[in-house]
Chain A
């Protein structure tokens, strides 16, 4: 028996024997290279099976069976509110990342009470000195407003068309959580410029947290970094706004949409 290691499936030799164009060769070489490492062919087969299963025959949907297309398309704008809130979320994410280049979450620099802080100054800098900075901030702010509006209207649409009913309770509750997180997103963003209204809105937040029984003081410490507002509050709101919430909200949105995908859209009757 030969000691030389044998290649049972010499794909390269097979490739050479074929009469292939450059594109085909490159494609196959890449495919073989990846497949040797990741076994993608297994997954391709799975996908293929799923494709054929899904596309051969499907039950007539409710809208088709009862010829409700006219109704459905008439109400279509209301059925796109969920995805519009995602679009606004993406716009806010892109502009927010750009604003993050210039923003400084710091209350340093105020000699006396009421003087501009570093955070406030960085916003003035964004609005006055940075090219298109004012526009960037406006778009970010309006994207946030649009997102909240779209989310509220989306909820109303789901309520008044009864789309939250029986198999979809989990997604309804997930939606409530997402609305709460969206409002928290807005609130933490409202605090960041560290202007008068930001400060006093945060003050009301602290007072609300402290009034909660049992967990109140702990929550105030965690979210606001103490019972009086200052540097710690600003940094915590900043981390909440640019690190914690983006991960959590993006993940929950993916789950929310995934459940809609699995359960199917609740069609209008």
Chain B
């Protein structure tokens, strides 16, 4: 019984008793180890669904690639060094330089120390919050939104907050409403008009926030706040619709010169 490989009474072999570590203890794959495809088949529920979806999407990818007429080319890119790096460095230093120059020419303003006892005549945030501040000044509109017996539905402050929610919500919904491959404003006059409306609204709301500086009545200012953006939107729509034909003709010519229709 001196052979190392002879099984001993506990099921092991004499080889396991070696003290020098012996050969590396790798486990060779045998019939009982499931292959990857077997493992996949055994899985169930969500894991199986995930696997099935990945298989489908990979197949779809391969099919699309096979039937695509996409032109491949050897890379003729702009080299990262020095071209791209130097250009980025130039842009960055120009931008930082402009910032420092502006900071030197127009140093930051500094005011009186805080006094909880006296409210200043004009309270204003930084310019980039003017639109938000304008939304808080919509209280003249509040009675018009009332439905039940002339009681206002929400407090003036709440109206401002709801307006913020609506604006952020609408912006967030845009990619779910506007789909398709159109990219240029001429290709989608409606969405360009919506964008212009939004931009003008931001400016008119800012004007509403600093209403004290405008020598016109508040009613007129409120009307203009909402009419000007709509007017701007309609104008954009009309202009883009008019431009569209010529522009699309040009664009299509360039497309079809390179890629004639089948």
Show the binding face of A for B, using Cβ within 8 Å.
1, 3, 55-60, 64-67, 80, 83-84, 87-88, 91, 107, 110, 113-117, 120, 123-124, 127, 134-135, 137-143, 145-146, 148-149, 152, 156, 159-166, 168-169, 172-173, 176, 180, 183, 186-187, 190, 193-201, 204, 207-208, 210-213, 229, 266, 268-269
A127 CA to B109 CA, complexed, in Å? 11
A213 smallest CB distance to B (angstroms): 7
A229 smallest CB distance to B (angstroms): 7
A134 CA to B109 CA, complexed, in Å? 10
CB <8 Å contact, B96 and A113: no
A88 in contact with B99 given A156-B195, A208-B161 (CB within 8 Å):
yes
Choose one: B110, B128, B182; the contact of A186 (CB below 8 Å).
B128
Question: Given the complex, which residues of B lie within 8 Å of A123, measured CB to CB?
Answer: 110
Q: Is B124 an interface residue (CB 8 A)?
A: yes
CB <8 Å contact, B111 and A84: no
A83 CA to B120 CA, complexed, in Å? 38
CB <8 Å contact, A196 and B184: no
Question: Given the complex, which residues of A lie within 8 Å of B172, measured CB to CB?
Answer: 172-173, 176
CB <8 Å contact, A199 and B115: yes
Within 47-62 of B, Cβ neighbours of A (below 8 Å) are at: none
Question: Given the complex, which residues of A lie within 8 Å of B43, measured CB to CB?
Answer: none
Q: Is B114 an interface residue (CB 8 A)?
A: yes
**How extensive is the interface on chain B, given as a class?**
35 or more
CB <8 Å contact, B96 and A91: yes
Q: What 5 A-B pairs are tightest by C-beta distance, nearest first?
A: A211-B157, A114-B115, A199-B114, A138-B103, A269-B183
Choose one: B75, B116, B118, B184; the contact of A229 (CB below 8 Å).
B116
Residue of A nearest to B72 (CB): A57
CB <8 Å contact, A172 and B175: yes
A67 smallest CB distance to B (angstroms): 7
CB <8 Å contact, A145 and B126: yes
CB <8 Å contact, A195 and B103: no
Q: Is B10 an interface residue (CB 8 A)?
A: no
Residue of B nearest to A173 (CB): B172
Which of B118, B124, B126, B168 has most A Cβ within 10 Å?
B126
- Could you name 17 residue pairs across A and B whose Cβ atoms are closer than 8 Å? A1-B20, A58-B75, A84-B95, A114-B113, A135-B104, A138-B106, A140-B108, A146-B95, A159-B195, A165-B181, A172-B174, A197-B120, A199-B114, A201-B123, A204-B136, A210-B157, A212-B158
A198 in contact with B114 given A65-B71, A138-B107 (CB within 8 Å):
yes
Question: Given the complex, which residues of A lie within 8 Å of B119, measured CB to CB?
Answer: 200
Show the binding face of B for A, using Cβ within 8 Å.
20, 70-75, 88, 91-92, 95-96, 99-100, 102-104, 106-108, 110-120, 123-129, 132-133, 136, 155, 157-158, 160-161, 168, 171-172, 174-176, 178-185, 187-188, 191-192, 195, 199, 254-255, 258
CB <8 Å contact, B174 and A159: yes
Question: Given the complex, which residues of B lie within 8 Å of A187, measured CB to CB?
Answer: 125, 129
A141 in contact with B103 given A65-B71, A196-B120 (CB within 8 Å):
yes
CB <8 Å contact, A58 and B184: no
Choose one: B72, B96, B112; the contact of A87 (CB below 8 Å).
B96
Question: Given the complex, which residues of A lie within 8 Å of B118, measured CB to CB?
Answer: 114
A3 smallest CB distance to B (angstroms): 7
CB <8 Å contact, A162 and B126: no
CB <8 Å contact, B183 and A194: no
A160 in contact with B195 given A113-B116, A196-B111, A199-B116 (CB within 8 Å):
yes
CB <8 Å contact, B195 and A139: no
Choose one: A57, A113, A193; the contact of B117 (CB below 8 Å).
A113
A57 CA to B75 CA, complexed, in Å? 6
Which of B92, B104, B128, B185 has most A Cβ within 10 Å?
B128
Residue of A nearest to B22 (CB): A1
A120 CA to B110 CA, complexed, in Å? 10
Choose one: B75, B123, B174, B254; the contact of A200 (CB below 8 Å).
B123
CB <8 Å contact, B110 and A193: yes
Question: Given the complex, which residues of A lie within 8 Å of B133, measured CB to CB?
Answer: 204
10 further A-B contacts with Cβ under 8 Å, apart from A91-B96, A141-B108, are A88-B99, A110-B113, A113-B116, A114-B118, A135-B104, A142-B108, A161-B184, A194-B114, A200-B120, A201-B125
Residue of A nearest to B123 (CB): A200
Question: Given the complex, which residues of B lie within 8 Å of A159, measured CB to CB?
Answer: 174, 195
Question: Given the complex, which residues of B lie within 8 Å of A115, measured CB to CB?
Answer: 113
CB <8 Å contact, B75 and A55: yes
A196 CA to B106 CA, complexed, in Å? 21
